[in-house]
Each structure stands twice: as structure tokens, then as C-alpha cells.
Structure 1
Amino acid sequence: MPAKSFLKRIHIWRYKYISHKNFVFLLSILIGLLAGIVSVIIKNITYGIEWFLETITFSQSSFYFIFPIIGLWLVYLFVKHISKQPIEHAIPTILFSLSKKNGLLKRSKIYLPLITAPITVGFGGSVGLLGPAIASASAISSNIGQLFHIDRKTRTLLIGCASAGAIASIFKSPIAAIIFAIEVFSLDLTFASLLPLLIASVSSVLTSYFFVGDEVLFNFTVVDKFTIKDTLFYLVLGVGTGIASIYFSKIYFGVYAFFNRFKTNGQKLIIGGLAIGTMLYFIPPLYGEGFGFINDLLHDNHLKALGKTPFDAFIDNIWVVIALLIGITIFKAIAMTTTLAAGGAGGIIIPTMVMGSALGNVVAKIINNLGLNFNVSESNFTLIGMAGLIAGVLHAPLTAIFLIAEITGGYELFVPLMITVSMSFIITKNAVEHTIYTKELAEKGALLTHNKDKSVLTLMTLDGVIENDFTLLHPEMSLGKMLHKGVAKSSRNLFPVVDEDKRLVGIILLDDIRNVMFDQSLYNTTSVETFMHNPPDYINYNEDSMQKVMQRFQDSGAWNLPVIKDGKYYGFVSKSKLLTAYRRELINFTS
């Protein structure tokens, strides 16, 4: 009670003295600060696990490929016996929450990613930490919004602030973080949304500087400037990253489909652990997040990036190096998805960057070693390859451009970034309509986009427009009984006809019986079955999205359509009520 009373007094004081706009600004500062702290915590826990494995237990061990199996096993035990909640993918879970749960996330989503992801990555799982950091920060933001009774639209904005804060803290790239929130979470680009995102990003970056100083993930400065003669090569890189992005998405869904064949999580763990161990034995750079690998390529040290492999005897041959880098490009997506499908926790953004860096370096090395006197910057291609993959896999071209631009500390590579990113995005968008994040949500009709009409329909719920105050008729009921017990007692001009199991067998309109309703000679000689007919269409409660419901009305031309749930009659939706609910939601969405 004291806590509730204290919160109540805070609410009253806030409503009296702080405007809604200023309160959102204050919350943006707080959420940016907390998102920065979350990012620092998740990184330090992971580094602590890595340090423990390297210096205490298996220092310099040749059995490093066993570590990810141990990590997956620990996560499996934690999920089964402690959390008892399945691991969910960060971004899709947030997107679903925004579209169907009013931006409400469970409190457990705050701390679970801070446990499962560091275990997975710290033990060498081939995934990233950015997704879990975003998930934890977004859960914090959602619960703060609930605590202060924030409306759904503002709560959505604050979740965007949390995601921007997490990215800004990890990469020290506030502009890219803002653009990511707008592109991925489909936030409106208005002054009302832009300023809170900017405040949260800056707050998070300052938090990161406070705890870790000026340490950056990629210590790189652009030396080789862009020249016009390299334009064609950057176009080739754009085509390559576009094709690789399509491959990345196909592999992701293909590997998950393979693992879904196994009935138990234990089976998935065993199969996935063996697969990951085998890949790591032959391709050691697949171990862990891969930031070290990227940095080595950026500094033209491919030997250190590749590490010790079974092919060291041939490593002096540049084409062997290229082949190994191609192997990393191909198997990074497989290793990442296998880690996730086997029960690990992590994100896909960092693996995307690793794969892009390897592909960019491969393209540059091939160009430089064709014997045609071409010479391009391998470091620049490594960077721009990352941007190409991000643009293609996430369908976030602006995020990709500004992220790499901020990482390099300038805009010297802006033109080649635009060339490669544009080409990659165009190719991928035409081949893969939805991203890894959004495909399942789009199939469920639960995806928010920048299309306001579709977003409004996504935010609507079928339960909100279903009407149940219809008088039920039965096929064997006589005309007289229908008139006295149905028509006379109903204010509706529509009557559903159901059997004894409440399955809809037809409908009757008042117009269908208007010519005979006063003919008493028919009261006992004719039945409901004589007058009933099929409805123009049906609405499937379990399968139809609101977009599909609207389409059914448009195609059928009907004013009322019956709703079927689990094979039984459930109610009706009227076009007038649907359009009224749509207009109300549109006003709330755009205000």
C-alpha cells in the first residue's frame, strides 16, 4: 500500500506540473540511460564468461569447439528448470507486442536475455548480443510505460527509444540507432518522435562512454578514398551482397524447418551441438560473435582473422585464403541459425555483419588477384560488405549506410556505401518480400508498416467488432415459431441458422420472409430450412486477419458476415461497425 500511495502521489504531481511532451522527454533520458546500462551489463557478463574459459579452465585448448555445446546445454537446463519460459526472438517478439499487445512486454523479458544470451555467446555460440540487449531494454521501457500509465502510442515510441539506445550504446552510433528504430519498428518520422529518439540515443551513448570510455568495437580509420574507377566494383559487391542476403534468409528458414522435425528440445540440442562443433572445428572464426574477425580483416590481417585451421599448410596460397573466407561467408548463416534453432539465445545483426565483412573481403581479394592490374581497398570493401548485408537481410538500407559511416568516423565512403547498399536492397527486396523479423508476423497479419491503412487494420482486433446479439434459429423450426420467438423479439433483420452443435448452416434475412410472414396458412407447413440460404462469405476467427476481413467485405459486397470459430457459429461482423472502428483507430493512430 505505501508503494501504491507513493506512486499515486507521483502521478498526481506529474499531471499537475509536467506536460505530456516534457514527460516523454524525461522518460527518453531515463530509458536511454537504462538501455546503455543494459548493453554494458550484457557485454561484460559475456566477456567475463569468455575470460573464465580462456584463462582458467581451457586456456589454449584445442577442444574449443566443445564450448558452444556446453553453452547450449546450460541454456537448455536454465530454460527447462528455472525460467520455464521458451526463448523468443527479440525483434519479432517486440514487433508482435507493438501490433497485438499494445506494446506490453513481461517483466521477465528484462532479465532473461541478460542470462541466456551471455551464456550462449560467451561459450562460443555463433550469434550476437545486440538483439537480446534490445529485447531487455525494450521490456524495461514497456514496464516503465505501464508504471506511469502511458498510452499505447507513446509506449510504442518509448520502445523505439529503448532499441535506439541499445544500438547507440553498443556501436556508439546515435544517428544509425535512430534510423534503425524508424525503419525496423515503422515509427513515424515526425518531430514528436524524432526528438525523444535523439535524446535516448545521446543519453545511451553518454552512459556507454561513462562506463567503458572511448573504447569502440571497430578501431578503424578510412585511409583509401573512393575513386570513380571503383564504381563498377562496388556495383558488383552490391550484387554479391544482395544474393548473399537472399541466401541468408533462405538458410534461416530452411534450418529452422529442419529442426522443427525434431519433437523434443533435447533432440534439437544434440543435433545442433554436433553440427556447430563440426563447423567450428573446420572453420574456427565461426566461434562467438566475430568482432575480432572483423577487426582483423579491417587491418588487412587475414591470417590472424582465420586463426588455426586444418588447412594451415596451404595458407600461403591466396586462393586458399579466399576459399576459407568464402566458407565463412557460407557457413556463418548456418552456424548462427543452428545455434538459435538448437535452443541458444542471441541476435542476427552481428552475424550479418560478420558474413558481410567476409564477403566484402573476398570480393576485394578476387579483384586484386585476377592478374588484371586492378587494385581496390580490401578494408573498404570489408566495411561496405557489412553494409550491403545489413541492408539486404534487415531491409534497412539507411541504417546500414549511417552505421558504417559512423563507425568509420566520417563520410568518406558515403558514395560507395550508397551504391552497394542500394543495389543489395533492390535485389533482396524483389526476391524476399519480408525479412527474418517480419515474415511470420506478416503471415499472421500482425505486422506494422509505414503504410498507415494497413497498420491501423493490424492494430484492430476482431473481437472488438464482433456482435453476438442475434437470435439463433434452427432448420426444423416452423415459420410461425420463427416469427413469434425470433422475429418478434429481435431488433435485427438478420438471423443465423444453426444445427444442434451450433454449426452455421445458413442465414435468413427479413427480406426473405417479408412476403409470407403474414400468411398464417404457412405457419405450420413451412420451416426455416425452406427460407435459409448461404451467406455471401465467412470470416474465420482463427485464421483471418483484419486485412482479410476487410477484403472479404469488399469482394462479397455484403453488409454483414458471419464469424466461424473452431467450426461453430460465433457472431457477425457488420461493415458499418467495422468502418466506424477503423475510423476511430485511424484518429488515435495519427493524432
Structure 2
Amino acid sequence: MVKYTAYCFKIITFALHQHLAMFKKLNIYINHWRARQTNSRTFLLYSSVYVGILGGLAAVVLKYLVHFMEELSRELAARVPYHYSFLLLPAVGILLTVAYQHLINRDSMQKGIGNLLMNIKRNKANIKHDNAYAHLISSSLTVGFGGSSGLEAPIVVTGAAIGSNTGRFFKLSTYEKTVLLAAGSAAGIAAVFNSPIAGVLFALEVIIGEITIPTFIPLLIASATGAVVGKLLNPRQLFHLVTEGWLVQALPFYALLGIFSGLVAVYINKVGHDLERGIFTKQNRYVRAIAGGLLLGVLILLFPPLFGEGYHYMQAILNGNIEALKEESLYADWLSKPLIMLLFIGALVFIKIVATGITLGAGGNGGTFAPTMFTGAFLGLLVAYGINQTGLIHLNTSNFIAVGMAGALSGVLHAPLTAIFLIAEITGGYLLFIPLMVVSAISYIISRYFKSYNAYWESLIHEKDIHPDQDHSMLNEMRLDTLINKKYVAVDPDMSLDDLYHILATTTANIFAVVDADHQLKGVIWMDAIRKEFFNTDHAQTTVADVMVAPPALISYNQPVSSVMTVFDNLDAWQLPVVRDGKFVGFVSKSVLLDQYRQVFIKQHKHADFFAK
């Protein structure tokens, strides 16, 4: 039996090797063909269409998978007593997600937009191929069974993986892979929301972080293609908003909503990030999934609108049907009182992100995009409904709900353009552009005041020292060990100045390291500083230790180059010593660093310059 199994294994291995060899030959043939037929700029446009089609299809597949999981969860819910389904189903969904990731995916899946940004900065825009489908399965399990998270982050990562692996297959440059990665993200967002403009702006503001024409055109093509695919295969509009415009008298209240949106965005980023890092971390993954799922179930039992993405309730309140919040509630009679309803709405504003954090922290897969929209919608409802109860003025509740979504998104993502156009496109509320701009701008300003970067970048900066600034990123692409001048002149601290002068006559160096027998740095000698000693005839007893000085700073061998540049700028120095494990290694020069930076800059931008022509 063992021999038979081994023989079968050899056959399977041989077949896989043959298929892999055929795949490599096909890849070489295709790349040779496209090199002969098209230039790189044209091929990138063709690739963006291909990525847009696949990104749109992935979004449609995800929608249908979630619908299937929801139907399955309803069948399971029918077998248990009423309300208990709220308590148990989220735990089932998270448990299935964790099991899939552990047993089938083998923990190869990279969750969240933060990991996507890290791959762009650290991994040359390369994303593992299984991310192109794993998120579709795992997020549909989480959300379909009631997990309180969104599908937007999974579809963004899925589209990005499609774009990245398309670029890898055709052996494109890092710049081209990054463009296709962003194009896949744009196509996914466009197909999910039927919002092509928002897809492009999301990719530019959140994924790439800069707007250039060479980048804009492929994104536009991919986003439009994804939106068309989504519209053809799943034409249902996410939200419907009927509005006759807005009143100037309501503008102060929109400004108030903008302030609240900014503060809530700070709360979302803080609480969401802390909870997403993990709950019940001392337990194994399956215990964590069950415990977190049951805790989430308790919250959903108390607040049924927390179940799943919550889009059903958001559409209901957009239609003015606040009574829908009483559905499946344990205390529906109490919610008939305006004050209790106001408190209930306020609780949803703050608890939704807690439910999302528990969902993700327990092992579920999803994102905070939809929960942020949910929170903003109910924040807008809270402001409008609360002010209407005073009788001072009557505000259009639906308008405030739509604008509240934009305000929350703008503050959380630090992407006001994405927020404005997304909400305008998915609700059809183009008459609300002025309130959308006012609320989004105020929310963005307040959020930026407390946090310089959005939640994705904040975690990368503090935990992985990955920075969104282009200069910072290019500096950290350089390796410090390649910049160190190891051909230095070292002298002993007990050496006399006469002996030092003999050394000076044989070198052009203007800085010298003073090291002991263990190669520990004791100080440095600057040529300019000791020049006056040349004319001092009474230096027979003077040693190097008498004229050496402490360096203005020490550079660690493993220090990021961006940090080294900061040290140079703060000290106005041009050469600094480098130490490793306490021992002197060499000197790093600011002029060498700047020259290397120039080379990296030219290398990174030559592709963009080519596509701009």
C-alpha cells in the first residue's frame, strides 16, 4: 500500500511539473508576442481592460456568494427558536471562516487594505495569487452568516491580487504592477457600488496616494469596465434616494454634522484598530472564533441592525421608514417613544464599529468600509431626527443620512473626493453636492487634526515603519550598508600628533575615527578642527585623545535610511560614524546618500515619464 501511494504521488508530481513547464513556455510565448505587437503603454491599457473585467466578475461572484450564504443561514435559523439565530449564526460564520483560512488556505491569505499597502511599499506590488479568490470565500462566510463587517475591503484586495498577478504573469515592471493592482481595486469598488468615478478616486486617494495622468487613464478604463460588468450581471442599485434638494437654512446643521462626523471618524479608527488586532488572544483560534462570535451574537440580539452589512436598514431609513428599526427587536414597544428611539440610534452609531472590531478580531474576514457608511448614516439620522424632535426646524432626514455617510467615510479614509462622489453616485443624490462637500471637508479637517494618516497607514507607520510619503519610501528602499564608506582611516587614542601628521600626509580624508583595541569608537577627528595645531610647536606631549571630539550623533547599522537623513538634517552634518553592536563600521556621507536617492528617484519615475509621453 505504501509503495502504491508513493507511486501515485510520483505520477501526480510528474504531472504537476509537466503542467508547470507548459505554463512557463506559454508565458514566454505570450510575452514575446506582446513585445513584438505592442509597446508597454498600449499593453498596459489592454491589461487594464482585462483586470477590469475580472475585477467586476469577482465583485459579482462575491455578491452571489453572500446571497447564497444568507439563504443558507436563513435555513439554519429556521431550525432554532426565534432570536437565537442572532446569537448563534455569527459564531458559525466566523468559525467557518477561521477553519477555511487554517485548514484550506493555510494562512496564506492577507487580510485588509493595510497589508495591500505594505505589499506595494515592501514587496514590489506582488500579492500572493490565492488572494484572488480566498477573500471571496472567507468574507462571504463571515458576512453571509451575520458577521458585522463589510465586503468592500475583501473585494479591494481581490481586485488588487488580480491586477498584481496579471502584471507578474506578463513580467511587467513594479510601476506597471502597481498601476494594475490599483486598477483591480478600482474595478472592484466600481462593480460593488456601480460607481466608476468613486472607484478611480478610491484607488488614487487610498491605494496609490497621488494623482497623475499616466496612472489615471488605466484606472479609469478598469473602473468603467468593472462597473459595466457589474451592471450587466447584477443591475440592482445599492441605495435609492429621492430628494428635491437642500435648504440653505439647514447649512449650519450640515456643518454640525461635519464636526460630529470628524470626531466619530477618530473614534472609529481608534476602536476599530484596537479590536481588529485581536480579542481573546490567549486562546487558540477556534476558541477565539466561538467566543468572539457569541459575544457578537449578544450585541446583535440587543441591536438587530448590526446583523451583516446593515444595508437593509440603511435603505429603510433613507426611505424615511424609521419604524424598520423595530423589526426583530426585543423591545419594539419601547422604541415607539421618540426619546428611546433617539437613544437607540445613538447607541448604533457607537456600537457598530465595536461589533465590526469583534467580528474581525475573532477571525472573521471583512472590512470597515460598510460599517463606516452605516455609522455615518445613523449619525446623520441622529442629528436630523433629534433636531426635528425639538420643533425648531424640520430637516430632511434622508439628506442628512446620505451626507452623514460621506462625512464618516471622508474622516476615516482621509479621502474626501472618494466619499463625495461615492455617496452621490450610489444614492443618486447629485443635488446634495454642496452639503456633501461641506460635511466631507469639515470631517476630513477634524480627523486629520487628531490623526495625520488614515487607519491603514497609522498601523503601518507605527508597527512596520512603512510610510506613505514618497520621499520617505524612496529613502527606505535604499540599504544603509551600501552607503557606508568602509575605507576609513582609524587611529589609536594614544597616538601622538606627530604620528598623526605623518598619516595626514598620505591621505585625503577629512575625518578620522579614533578607536581602541576592541574597535570601539572613542571619538572622531575633524581635519578642519585640528588645522590650527599644525602651527603649534609645543605639541610633543599631545596625543590624539587630547584633540578628538565626540561625534554629533551615532548611526546604527540597521537604522532606516529615512531616519539617517532626518539626523543629517537636524544636525546640519555631512558625515557621521556608523556602529554595529558597539563596534565602529565606517562613515556615512550625506552627499553619497543624496546621490543614491537621486538614482532611486530616476529609476522609480522613468516608467511614469514614459507613459506620460
- Shared fold by TM > 0.5? yes
State the partner residue of 1:168: 190
Which residue identity is paired with 1:280? I
What aligned pairs does 1:38-437 form with structure 2 within 5 A after superposition?
A: 38-56=58-76, 58=78, 61-63=82-84, 64-85=86-107, 88-212=110-234, 214-218=235-239, 220-255=240-275, 259=279, 262=282, 265=285, 268-269=288-289, 272-372=292-392, 374-409=393-428, 411-437=430-456
Which residue identity is paired with 1:251? V
> Alpha-carbon deviation of 1:395?
0.8
Which residue identity is paired with 2:188? A
8 A contact 1:387–1:417 mirrored in 2 = yes
Matched, 1:584 2:599: yes
What aligned pairs does 1:440-459 form with structure 2 within 5 A after superposition?
A: 440-443=459-462, 444-449=464-469, 452-454=470-472, 456-457=474-475
State the partner residue of 2:572: 557
8 A contact 2:187–2:225 mirrored in 1 = yes
Q: 2: CA distance between counterparts of 1:235 and 1:46?
A: 37
> Alpha-carbon deviation of 1:100?
2.3
SS in 1 for 2:431: coil
8 A contact 2:135–2:158 mirrored in 1 = yes
Q: 1: CA distance between counterparts of 2:192 and 2:391?
A: 40
Which residue identity is paired with 1:574? S
SS in 1 for 2:333: helix
State the partner residue of 2:15: none
SS in 1 for 2:26: helix
Deviating more after overlay: 193-202 vs 150-159: 150-159
> Alpha-carbon deviation of 1:301?
1.8
8 A contact 2:90–2:294 mirrored in 1 = no
Cα distance change on mapping 1:243 and 1:490 into 2, 3 Å:
same
Q: 2: CA distance between counterparts of 1:82 and 1:497?
A: 59
Q: 2: CA distance between counterparts of 1:416 and 1:236?
A: 11
8 A contact 1:224–1:377 mirrored in 2 = no
Q: 2: CA distance between counterparts of 1:204 and 1:179?
A: 14
Which residue identity is paired with 1:552? V
> Alpha-carbon deviation of 1:51?
1.0
> Alpha-carbon deviation of 1:300?
1.6
Cα distance change on mapping 1:257 and 1:187 into 2, 3 Å:
closer
> Alpha-carbon deviation of 1:463?
4.1
Cα distance change on mapping 1:505 and 1:264 into 2, 3 Å:
farther
Structure 2: runs of 5+ lacking an equivalent: 1-20
Per the normalisation by structure 2, the TM-score is: 0.85
Q: 1: CA distance between counterparts of 2:427 and 2:367?
A: 23
Cα distance change on mapping 1:115 and 1:529 into 2, 3 Å:
farther
8 A contact 1:276–1:338 mirrored in 2 = yes
8 A contact 1:471–1:490 mirrored in 2 = no
State the partner residue of 1:469: 486
8 A contact 2:244–2:431 mirrored in 1 = no
SS in 1 for 2:576: strand
Match of 1:30 among 41, 50, 70: 50
Q: 1: CA distance between counterparts of 2:582 and 2:453?
A: 31
> Alpha-carbon deviation of 1:527?
9.2
> Alpha-carbon deviation of 1:314?
1.1
8 A contact 2:281–2:288 mirrored in 1 = no
Which residue identity is paired with 2:594? L
SS in 1 for 2:329: coil
Cα distance change on mapping 1:58 and 1:359 into 2, 3 Å:
same
Deviating more after overlay: 197-206 vs 187-196: 187-196
> Alpha-carbon deviation of 1:229?
1.7
Q: 2: CA distance between counterparts of 1:238 and 1:530?
A: 64
Question: In the comparison of the two structures, how many residue pairs are matched?
Answer: 581
8 A contact 2:493–2:515 mirrored in 1 = no
SS in 2 for 1:573: strand
Cα distance change on mapping 1:492 and 1:526 into 2, 3 Å:
same
* Post-superposition CA distance 1:187-206 (Å, at most 9, x none): 44233222111100111011
Identity %: 33
> Alpha-carbon deviation of 1:501?
7.8
SS in 2 for 1:315: helix
> Alpha-carbon deviation of 1:437?
1.0
Cα distance change on mapping 1:28 and 1:464 into 2, 3 Å:
farther
Q: 1: CA distance between counterparts of 2:232 and 2:519?
A: 65
* Post-superposition CA distance 1:499-542 (Å, at most 9, x none): 7887655556678999999xxxx99x999877765432123455
